[in-house]
Amino acid sequence: MASERQQPLADYEVLLCVTGGIACYKSADLASKLVQAGAGVSVAMTEAAARFVAPLTFQTLTGRQVYSSLWQSTERFEAAHLSPTERADVLLIAPATADIIGKIAGGIADELVCCLVLSSTGQCPIMLAPAMNERMWQAPATQANIERLKSWGAHVVGPASGRLACGAEGVGRMAEPAEILKAVTDLLLRKPPKKRQS
């Protein structure tokens, strides 16, 4: 019982997709918190995300290879844009930039994270933690894209209000890792983890 409280996500798999925003530094803390909660965490990064935080950071925190390209060779010679979603109980995008939100809403699949989202259909739920400047968040296109994704069943946590990277105050901060962890936990504990293949 105590173990379940300490590691409520034991046996669950989280596919954490990290996109290119300054909030990437919070994603490293989030990955650590997910692992501490017992989840198996695989990380996929956009090229832009790797300009903020090195893939080695996530590899060290999760103990797993980081997916960073559609063209990347994997240890199991698996399809990098398909197999991670087959194992995942949830696909979490944190931070979810205006760019990635727009691409997903438009069905664009021009890089790894977009392909993973498209291949998650029927495999696992999607959760987004938006992070961007307030003007970008309030833009009609972004709001329409978010509503479209919600109508398709995507879960959204945040964004929060506060000081933004540009120095302005407003809505657009990525939710704190503890808040995202709680949202992921609440979502995952509604159903048992996928049966793992031996």
Query: Which positions are annotated as active-site residues?
Result: 166
Tokens of 40: 């198996």
Residue 97: CB atoms within 10 A of its CB come to 24
The full 3-state SS of 57-111, as one line of letters, equals HHHHHHCCCCECCCCCCCCCCCCCCCHHHHHCCEEEEEEECHHHHHHHHCCCCCC
Q: How far is residue 187 from each of residues 66, 91, 121, measured CA to CA in Å?
A: 24, 11, 17
Alpha-carbon span 193 to 124, nearest angstrom: 11
Tokens of 108: 């664009």
The set of residues, in sequence order, having a beta carbon less than 8 Å from that of 17 and lying 6+ positions away, is 43, 44, 45, 46, 91, 92, 93, 94, 113, 116, 117
Instruction: Name which of 86, 96, 77 is nearest 26 in CA terms.
Output: 96
Q: For tokens 């400047």, what's the residue?
A: 133
